[in-house]
Each structure stands twice: as structure tokens, then as C-alpha cells.
Amino acid sequence: MEVVMIEAERLRPLAENLRKMTDEDMALLERSIRDLGVVEPLHVVEYEGGRHYLIVNGNHRYAVLAKKMGMDRLPCVILGRDWPMERVYAEAVRLNSISGEFDVVAFIEKMGPIVRRWLDGGMKRPEVAMSLGLRLNSRLLKAVAQEEKKEKRGPAAKITDLEELIDSLAVAPVAFVGRFCVIGDAECVGAIREILLRAEERGLAGVDALRRVLVRGLESGGEGGL
């Protein structure tokens, strides 16, 4: 689709944005835009023959570009014209839902040495997080720190103790509804995947190991995490 420049005054954000971002998330987004520019245009729908456009995807980018950076014209892709609001919200959900998740093991392997080199060079952890577009409490950064501790303890500690890894999920967004486990975060899914991999390394049945983790959380009260 063609990218067109549209005046900021003709763009309208959704009154009810379905995707919420914290102040930390907004700071990360602003940093990314200032460093790299606009790598993804806004997705909009045209109304009244172009008198105004409704932003379907990119409301937070609009807030940064128009409100904080004062851009008069923003890059946009026009998805269609005069859509009913039912379709606008349906497409807003779809466009914001299509995303993958980081592979924790691959992240540690590729990014671990880079992050440690940055830290050894004097970069502070908040700046590392900002440079990677991650929250300071990101599980990915915690995984790198955990790997660093293992290396300092020596080769004998290379295989993380399973209980230690399980305990690292203590604040993860895992809840129990009846006997169902609800995982509310992609990074948490990656951590559980890591538990299964570690269990396999130690010759344990991965499914049984994970079941023990979840049962422990269920028996501890059934909500609020593991």
C-alpha cells in the first residue's frame, strides 16, 4: 500500500484505544522514533472525502509524533473509506494482535554477550533496557542477568537448578481460574518454555515438571501467580 503524508490536524485518534501503554512504554516508543524515525506508518480510514481520517493502528505513535514532537504531517497508509465503527475496532484488534514472541534461549545466546559488553563499558541497566526497547523489569533482561551469574559461578553451574528457575516466575502474570492456568504475557510463556527445556536437559519429563509447577501455584491459593 502507498504511504501518504496527511496533516496532523486531519487525523483523529480512536476515542477508546484498546491497547494501553504505560509511561515507560511511551518513553521507549519515543526513544525508538527519535533514534530510528517512523519505521511503521499509521493505518487510517478516510471519512468525508478526506476531511478527516480515523487512526485504526498507530494511536500511540500519533501521540508522540504530533503531540510531543510537533510534526505537522504524518506518514499514513489509508486502509479504506467510510468504514462502520464495528469494522474499525475489529481491524484495530487484529492489527495490534499479530506479533510473535522472543525465544529466550536464542536471546541469551545472541544478545547476552552484547548486553554484558555494554554493562562492562559503563552503560547502566535502564539505558540498556531503553536501547533495546524493553521494560526495565523485562524477563529477557532478567534471563541475561541470570546467565551472567551462572558464568561467574563456573562451568559446574551451567545447567540452572530447576527450582531456581521456577522461583523466578514468582512475579509472573500467571493466574488460576478453577483448575485452568491463564498465562497473560508472552515473556512468561517464554520462561515456561525455558523450564521445559531445562527439565529435558536434566532428564526429567518436561510435561510432568511443568505440571508440578502449576499444581504448586494452584495449591498456594489459586491466584496472584506461582
Q: What is the CATH number of the domain that holds 20?
A: 3.90.1530.10
The verdict on 39 and 89 lying in the same domain is: yes
**Residues 137, 128: contact at Cβ < 8 Å?**
no
58 and 139 both lie in a single domain: no
Do 124 and 80 lie in one domain? The reply is: no
Tally of domains within the chain: 3
196 bridge partner residues:
none
d(CA 76, CA 23): 24
**CA dihedral of 20, 22, 25, 26, whole degrees rounded to 10:** 90
Residues 115 and 30 in one domain: no
The number of residues making up the chain comes to 226
At 170-226, the pLDDT tens digits run 444 555 555 555 655 555 666 666 666 666 666 655 556 666 655 555 455 444 333
Examine the domain organization and report whether 15 and 72 are in the same domain.
Answer: yes
Co-location of 145 and 169 in the same domain: no
Same domain, 66 and 135: no
Q: Find all residues with CB under 8 Å of 137, minimum gap 6, and list them.
A: none
Residue 133 burial by Cβ neighbours in a 10 Å radius (0-12, 13-18, 19+): middle
75-134 confidence digits (pLDDT tens): 999 999 999 999 999 898 888 777 667 777 778 888 888 888 898 898 888 888 888 888
Q: Residue 23 to residues 30, 38, 128, 156, 201: CA-CA distances in angstroms? A: 10, 19, 17, 42, 40
Structural domain of 124 = 101-157
The whole-angstrom separation of Cα 52 and Cα 13 is 11
